[in-house]
Amino acid sequence: MFSESLHSYVHENVSLAERCWLRIGGSARFFAEVPSSSILTQLCREATAASLPVRVLGAGSNLLIRSEQIDALVVRLTGEFEAVTISDNKIVVGAAASLGDLISAAAESGLAGLEHLAGIPGTVGAAVVCNSGVKNDDLGSRVQRVCGVDRDAEEVELSREELKFGYRRSNLQHLIVTSAEIELQRQDPAEVTRKLQANWIVKKAGQPAVDDCLAQAFIEPSGWQISELLEAAGMKSAAEGEASMNPTFPGYLGVTKEADARDVLALVGRIARAVEVQSGIQLHQQLKIW
């Protein structure tokens, strides 16, 4: 399937369950940890030539993997894609860097504008594609340039004028994002750190630990509290099979070791229907389904 030069990077039938927060799901037909742009583009070209889809696995914080084997090349970016480089008031950051590392690096350098993202899990690449943020503020408003690999396995670079960001969305779904340039504002490092720590404390108080096998089920609708919507619809502690909503962390669902992706899909579907019937509001899934 892949050329000899790529054999050391590509592995077959690799379990993905332990690589995502929910710890359930099947395997990838092919899996590769990719340390450089040259290897990534070569992998993508050979996969494209073989009509094999390419998917990127980040931190797995909002990912639900079905039990069946994924007929695709699943790549995890490492190496050069984890770099964070600061120059003046701009940061060039690799897609595989954690969002937390980016925010901390900015604060230490006296660059303000990302403190509101403190405590949001995942990688920078996923955060850019999904336009992570809080109410009235998002990451996309600071992104000036994005580099990536497109569906034709070609390296591309998008300028600010070519980027489109909306509430929890972007026009980058067709790209494997490899890096982003972010422009921030100079400020006293101590003040930026103070804001960062305050936001982090508030965010973490409403989040489970990474090892709790929990994931956020829905995007909180603009102008509404997800906890209030679930409570009103009688879904705050809803369960389906081995999946259930966590009453301590509203909006998060948890699973047991015996859970199947079908339990999760049935649960989020039932909750979405109940909320729409009760309030008229359509909930959108935070979970990405493979």
pLDDT digits (tens, 9 = 90+) for 159-201: 999 999 998 899 999 999 999 999 999 999 999 999 999 988 8
Burial class (CB in 10 A: 0-12, 13-18, 19+), 172: buried
H helical segments located in the chain: 37-49, 99-108, 124-130, 189-205, 226-232, 261-279
Selection from 138, 123, 125, 142 nearest residue 184 by Cα:
142
Average pLDDT over residues 97-121: 95
The fold of the 210-289 domain, in CATH, is 3.90.78
pLDDT reported for residue 261: 95
pLDDT digits (tens, 9 = 90+) for 227-282: 999 999 999 999 999 999 998 888 899 999 899 999 999 999 999 999 999 999 99
Q: Round to whole Å and give the CA distance between 118 and 98.
A: 11
pLDDT reported for residue 1: 84
Q: How do the domains of the chain map onto residue ranges?
A: 4-77, 82-205, 210-289
Mean pLDDT of the chain: 94
Task: Tell me which residues are annotated as active site.
Answer: 168
pTM for this predicted structure: 0.92
More confident residue, 1 or 115: 115
Q: Round to whole Å and give the CA distance between 79 and 84.
A: 11
C-alpha distance from residue 90 to each of 104, 109, 112, 153, 178 (Å): 14, 11, 11, 28, 17
pLDDT digits (tens, 9 = 90+) for 201-221: 888 777 776 667 889 999 888
pLDDT digits (tens, 9 = 90+) for 31-80: 999 999 999 999 999 999 999 999 999 999 999 999 999 999 999 999 99
pLDDT above 70 coverage of the chain, percent: 99
pLDDT reported for residue 153: 95
Q: How far does CA 247 lie from the centroid of its chain? A: 23
pLDDT reported for residue 210: 61
Q: Which two tokens stand for residue 168?
A: 């929890």
Q: Round to whole Å and give the CA distance between 223 and 210.
A: 27
Architecture label for domain 82-205 = 2-Layer Sandwich (3.30)
Stated length of the chain: 290
CB crowding 23-45: b at 16 or more within 10 Å, else e? bbbbbbbbbbebbebebbbbbbe
Architecture label for domain 4-77 = 2-Layer Sandwich (3.30)
H helical segments located in 56-165: 99-108, 124-130
Q: Round to whole Å and give the CA distance between 182 and 92.
A: 6
pLDDT reported for residue 211: 60
